[in-house]
Amino acid sequence: MSDMSATKQLAGDMNSPAPQHSEVPLGTSTDNNVSSTNNNMSTWAMSNLQKLNVTELYTQQRQSLRPWLDFFNTNQFKPPANIKAGARRLVFNVEHFQTNYFIVIIILSIYCIITTPALLFILLAMGAGCYLVSLKNRESPLTIMNHQIAISQQYLAVFCLCVPLLLMVGAGSAIFWILGASVFVIFLHALFHQTPNQEAFGVQMEEMAPSSDYILEFKIDVFKTLKIVGITTGVLTAIGLGAYYIHRRTQSSKRVILRDEVRNILRPFQLTEEQLRRVMANLNTEMTNGLKSDDTENLDLAMFPTYVHHGPSGQESGEYLVVDLGGSNFRVSHVSIEGRNRMRLNNKIFLIPHSLLLGEGEKLFDYIAECLQRFIDDNKLSLLKSANYKFDLAFTFSFPCKQTSLREATLVSWTKGFSCTSVVGNDVVLMLQQAIDRRKGLKIQVVALVNDTVGTLMACSSIYRDCKAGVILGTGTNACYFENLDNVPKWTGVRDNIHKQVIINTEWGALGRHGCLDFIRTDIDRELDESSLTPHQQVFEKMISALYLGEIVRLIIVDLVQRSILFPGRMQKSPSIRPDYNIFLILRGSFYAKHVADIENDTTEDLSITTTILTSIGIHDPSYDDCYIIREVCKTVSLRAAKLAAAAVAVLINRLNMSSVTVAIDGTLFRHHQQFKHNLTRTLGRLVPRTHRLVLSEDGSSKGSALVAAVDRRLKTAPMTYDKTNLPS
């Protein structure tokens, strides 16, 4: 309104005779007069503003409200002739339609709040809090420590309490959206809406300009330029922030919808504590039944006695060879025990050709004997040995075997991808000894067959005297523990004061063969089982072990792709990458447990680790949502495995019935998958109230197996010497 007054005044000056005057330089008393006048006007405005009340302000704004028919009159929307005209139109319309624009801002704010239910709820709660404060103060003012709290301070306290909640539900983003949307709408309307008064205002300004004082004209142009630059900058900033906020809201809402669909698919993999305790009860029952009978056809767990009755006493010594066979490679070790369980270890890993995993069993054992010869020659172990010297060898064999002594073991079934012929039903110790004897000059005597769980237990037992259980959580899964012979009805060996206990190889990976785990098995589990080399066997192992975790995740991903939840339309849009997708979708075993661990632990903001892994297996340029969903799948599958492992370990601890017990654990999942280990430990703490400790067994399959052979040698030379502390309480 001040601009209009100034215009009229200037127009009046043009009609009156021009006074005689000289140019006044900048900075003289004329400027001081103008400044003084502006200061007086500002003082007057502030004093009057303070006198205004809400009713007067509402009345003034209502009077300045322009007709909405005029506001939305499409006939008046025309582009400005030039930038100068557009700037004049913009300034005039902001002044002319200020109340209308204020209502537009209110409408956009209401829309934003309504479409954000959480924000609406918090604002309603804040309003309710303020209302309760007002009701409370009507009855009596709030007093704290004889100090009366003003109602404005109480309102401020309610607001401060709600600020963190507002930030959590996205109030900041909502403000940016309202600001951006409002400025964008107002800018477009003010720029293109033209009124007759506006055009008259522009013509009048143009006619006045030539006769105006050049100093005043210079000031007006500068102020207008700065105003236009400020408005333009603000508009562009608000538009950018608004667009960014809309994009983020769109992506976020899309992700929530996708996650809801994924949750429905993953829900069967999410186990409750009630289900875990049912698994514990079933496992405990099967273990008890397995100790009673050797009827492996009708029982889930074989519960094989290992003929290892004692742990190390610290008096063992000697040097031993160890062959550890339990996966796609095997390890040959030379272990020197120097008393007090001080050990020196030297080993080498040999890769087993895939053809030997599925070929003739005799060729597999011949290959092991050949690698033994190479290891002895490379390390010059025969040097300084007498011609008749024979190495004692402990054979770590991580497959289900029925032992009749420490040196006799019949293979019950292959697991972990092995399927060699002519081995099941035969004595594997004898087969290895025959392969060694076929190589002239190789002087080795196999003195013990040791399951890898037993080696894990023995290695830790030399350090922790209360270590009475060993668990493998790696390519496969299994466990062993010390059991009193009184609880083993099927034991047919010696029972005396020396042989009061025996380590039992549970072979718990076979749990569920007769249906006791059907209540937690999913369609994915059944599909994996049917396509495996050992269908309807090792049911529990196929839900836990590293050999199968990656495949479970892959099958879930395939299901999500078929439902168009993952990579929607990607194969149609990118025909060049279709073969890579097909390879991943069809090829079993193309997703590894290491991928599961790395993706689960991906905490990067853009999930770059997940993107890299997916690209490496043929899934190029996955979206953020794709990576996010796959990470959720990996987390869910890994958590289920950890919970099931915890339930099984809890049964061991309960059966040992000791005040404090240490459980030795080895395997890639426990050793390298930190999130799996964390979930296992946390779940076990909820399931078992007893004091327990989980420790990583270092080189258990080598050192522990050597200790089994060393304990056997010590007991043969001093049969009446044994450590009573090794007996479970």
- Nearest Cα to Cα of residue 409 among 421, 397, 393, 418: 397
Cα–Cα distance, 303 to 452 (Å, whole number): 15
User: What is the Cα Rg of the chain in Å?
Assistant: 42
**Residues of 169-204 as b/e, b for ≥16 C-beta within 10 angstroms?**
bbbebbebbbbbbbbbebbebbbbbbbeebeebbee
Q: Contact 269/218 with Cβ under 8 angstroms?
A: no
What is the 3-class SS of 588-645, one letter each residue?
A: CCCCCHHHHHHHHCCCCCCCHHHHHHHHHCCCCCCCHHHHHHHHHHHHHHHHHHHHHH
Write down the residue that tokens 């052979």 correspond to.
Answer: 709
Write down the residue that tokens 């059944």 correspond to.
Answer: 526
Cα–Cα distance, 303 to 310 (Å, whole number): 18
| Extended strands (E) in 99-226 | 143-144, 147-148
Q: Contact 595/630 with Cβ under 8 angstroms?
A: no
Write down the residue that tokens 């095997």 correspond to.
Answer: 330
Q: Percent helix, strand, coil in the chain (nearest 5)?
A: 60, 15, 30
Cα angle for residues 158, 161, 164 (degrees, 5° grid): 140
Does the annotation count 13 as an active-site position? no
Which listed residue (88, 182, 313, 331) is catalytic? 331
Per-residue tokens: 322: 């160890």
**3-state SS, residue 167:** helix
Does the annotation count 331 as an active-site position? yes
Alpha helices per DSSP H over 398-531 = 428-437, 452-461, 523-531
**3-state SS, residue 719:** coil
Other C-beta atoms lying within 10 Å of the C-beta of residue 621: 12
User: Which strands, in side-by-side order, build the sheet including 501-505?
Assistant: 304-305, 501-505, 477-484, 467-473, 660-666, 691-696
Q: Contact 599/610 with Cβ under 8 angstroms?
A: yes
Amino acid, single-letter form, for residue 52: L
Indicate if the alpha-carbon torsion angle 161, 166, 169, 172 is positive or negative.
negative
- Nearest Cα to Cα of residue 544 among 437, 629, 669: 669
Which listed residue (398, 638, 702, 705) is catalytic? 398
**Dihedrals φ, ψ of 70, to 5°?**
-70, -40
Q: Contact 429/449 with Cβ under 8 angstroms?
A: yes
Does the annotation count 398 as an active-site position? yes
Q: How far is CA 579 from CA 293, 567, 575, 619, in A?
A: 52, 14, 8, 10
**Dihedrals φ, ψ of 409, to 5°?**
-150, 125
Torsion over CA of 163, 165, 168 and 171, rounded to 10 degrees?
-50
Q: H or E segment at 677?
A: helix 674-687
Which listed residue (300, 324, 452, 466) is catalytic? 452
Q: Which residues are catalytic?
A: 331, 398, 452
